[in-house]
A = this chain, B = another copy of it.
Amino acid sequence: MIGSTHITSAFDRDLEAIQALIMKMGGMVEEAIGNAITALAEGDADLARETRRGDKAIDALELRVNEEAARLIALRQPIATDLRTVLTVFRISAALERIGDYAKNIAKRSEIIQELHPVDGGTASLKRMSKSVQVMLKDVLDAYIQRDADLALDVRARDEEVDQMYNALFREYLTHMMEDPRNITACMHLHFLAKNIERMGDLVTGIAEQVIYLVTGELPDEDRVKADTTSTLGGGTAG
């Protein structure tokens, strides 16, 4: 009995160390999103460059998390629930890394958008949308650490709002393009940013689903009502 308790604690202690790395990674990604959007909204080329460079540290942290998780599996040989808990680490770190990539892409694209014909109200809605995703990310990491399935379900539900903001933006850009062909190039870029943010929301939702799986042992029904209707209507976009 003492032996078994000892093994459990060693596993838990190692897992906690890995989870601390994930929280650190999540904090860096959250900051990258904020910086990328600020760089875009304020035309801050230095901040854009810094955000692009910062992505390497996020990538390095993902590698480290994966190696620690593999070491934990090799050392403690977890089975059943414990094994699944460690496998979740790979999925969450991969999602964070991809969100970081999107932030890097936004920073990169912000540098050229400055050079183009400006579009009315182009960045204000993007800022609002990315703020929602940032808060979702913060909450999903809290849900992960606290094994809070209700909070994770709430985050997942909020992705619908992000999808709706994206749909509204898509139609707005389409209108700008049809009204004035000089808007076409800038709107194509802005629309890509909107799509990147929408995808970040999807990735956060994926993390929320992993948390729900961890706590309840079941993935939520995958056929969630998707509010991104643009890929099933003629008036839309996506991919």
Using a CB–CB cutoff of 8 Å, the interface residues on chain A facing chain B are 66-67, 70-71, 73-75, 77-79, 83, 86-87, 90, 94, 102, 105-106, 108-109, 111-112, 115-116, 174, 177-178, 181, 184-185, 188-189, 191-193, 195-196, 231-239
**Cβ-defined contact, A239 with B73, below 8 A:** no
Nearest CB in chain B to that of A193: its residue = B239
Known: A74-B83, A90-B66. A109 touches B231 (CB 8 A): yes
Question: How close is A164's CB to chain B, nearest CB, in angstroms?
Answer: 19
Known: A87-B66, A174-B185, A181-B178. A231 touches B105 (CB 8 A): yes
Known: A94-B94, A185-B174. A83 touches B70 (CB 8 A): yes
Report B-chain residues with C-beta under 8 Å of the C-beta of A174.
184-185, 188
* Assembly stoichiometry (copies): 2
Which of B74, B178, B232 has a CB less than 8 Å from the CB of A73? B74
Question: How close is A15's CB to chain B, nearest CB, in angstroms?
Answer: 14
Report B-chain residues with C-beta under 8 Å of the C-beta of A71.
83
Report B-chain residues with C-beta under 8 Å of the C-beta of A236.
112, 189
Report B-chain residues with C-beta under 8 Å of the C-beta of A237.
188-189, 192
Report B-chain residues with C-beta under 8 Å of the C-beta of A78.
74
10 pairs of residues in contact across A and B, judged by CB atoms under 8 Å: A71-B83, A73-B73, A94-B94, A102-B239, A106-B239, A109-B239, A112-B233, A174-B188, A184-B184, A196-B239
Question: How close is A210's CB to chain B, nearest CB, in angstroms?
Answer: 12
Question: How close is A40's CB to chain B, nearest CB, in angstroms?
Answer: 12
Known: A178-B181, A192-B237, A192-B238. A87 touches B105 (CB 8 A): no
**Cβ-defined contact, A108 with B232, below 8 A:** yes
